Amino acid sequence: MTTPGGEPKKKWAYGSSREEVHEKYIRLQSEARKGPVATKVPTLAVRAAYWLREVVIEPNYAPLAVVTYETHLRLYILPYLGAKRLDKLTVRDVREWVNKLRKACQCCAQGKDTRRPVEHWNEKRRRHCCAVGQCCHQTLEESTVQKAVKILRSLFSDAISEDLVGKNPAAAVRLPTLRKRRTKAWSVDEARRFLENARDEADPLYAVYVLILVLGLRKGEVLGLDWKYVDLDAGELYVGEQLQRIRDQLRRRPVKTEDSEAPLPLPGICLAALWLRKRQQERDRQEAGDAWQGTGLVFTSPVGKPLDPTKFNGRFDARIVRAGVRRITVHGTRGTCATLLAALDVHPRVAMRVLRHSNIKMTMEVYTDATDEATGAALRKLGSALDG
């Protein structure tokens, strides 16, 4: 047989009977006619190590994607399938793994409770569940299970491209369709109350809240906003970078697409909020003196450090409580922005431009919900048309 490297090699077949060996011989002949055949196939663990080292690396993949692939392989795939040879892994093996993964308590599987000390003043930080015989049944979300299957599929697709195996056993496993939970967006009144509360209490993040609600900026985009991308005199803002926490480090990266970098005109409320933020940051710089860290970012700590995106959610939730409005997620503010634009009869193409989506389907199906008022008006109109 010819190996993927172009070298002719012998491949041996073994079996308990002549018939079994003959079947393997015929199968090998068929594979040899199709193209190169690997004479030595690695285990999934060995291949995964190579894949992460040589394929799933920057800049081929985004840093956050690299971390996600490594984490899912280490926690959810390799402990179950790592010892299997690639060519020996079957559809049945993958299906059984998926079923086990859905049922497995991750606290038990990862030894989370076992790593806690026996004695601690905080009862949540000492052993209290799986390590003491009281399983907490910490199972995975279906979305995490499906993400693990997709990563396994991707790993096998790469192995197929290098002629290590001839089929992808993970591709034949059927997965249920995920239903995305959609939170009802804020009304105009709720959004106004939220912003007024933040402004009246002089919240340092008031300008952040304005930009995510009025312009629909993502959390990483607004926290990674640099003053060089803001032109207050022209009333324009460029979304050029995003801030992400990756492996305990804050990193600034370019935004997803070139379309995201198109300038956005700043309404009056955004301009006023950014001027306010500029004066506030200047006061912080003077008070910090030599301790000031010049990052160029619009939103920083009192000494100029970037704001951690992972801690922003807590501050957003606390502001919601103080404002007395219905709770939504930070990402839900993009849905609020899109829905309010729809309620104001803004053309979908304009909303797509504001939210910087690559296609109109994303704008209409993922982010925009019809408001209760619009739904009621439409049904009344239909009822009047049908009422003889």
Q: Which domains does the chain have, with CATH numbers?
A: 37-104+139-172 (1.10.150.130), 188-379 (1.10.443.10)
Residue 178 has a pLDDT of 83
Phi, psi of 384 (to 5 degrees): -65, -35
Closest CA to 326 of 182, 181, 212, 194: 194
Using 70 as the pLDDT threshold, list the residues of the chain that sit under it. Answer: 4-5, 39, 181-182, 256-262, 343-345, 347-348, 358, 361-388
Rounded to the nearest angstrom, the gap between the alpha carbon of residue 29 and the centroid of all alpha carbons in its chain is 44
Residue 99 has a pLDDT of 95
Report the distance separating Cα 46 and Cα 83, nearest Å.
Answer: 9
Which residue reads 């790993």 in tokens? Answer: 155
pTM (two decimals): 0.76
How many angstroms separate the Cα of 329 from the Cα of each of 42, 167, 213, 303, 312?
44, 41, 12, 28, 11
Residue 171 has a pLDDT of 94
Which residue reads 């997965």 in tokens? Answer: 175
Residue 163 has a pLDDT of 79
In 37-169, alpha helices (H): 44-54, 63-72, 78-81, 91-103, 106-110, 142-161
Closest CA to 125 of 133, 134, 116: 116
Instruction: Map residue 8 onto helix, strand or coil.
Output: strand
- Stretch (H or E) spanning 237: strand 236-237
Residue 386 has a pLDDT of 60
Residue 321 has a pLDDT of 95
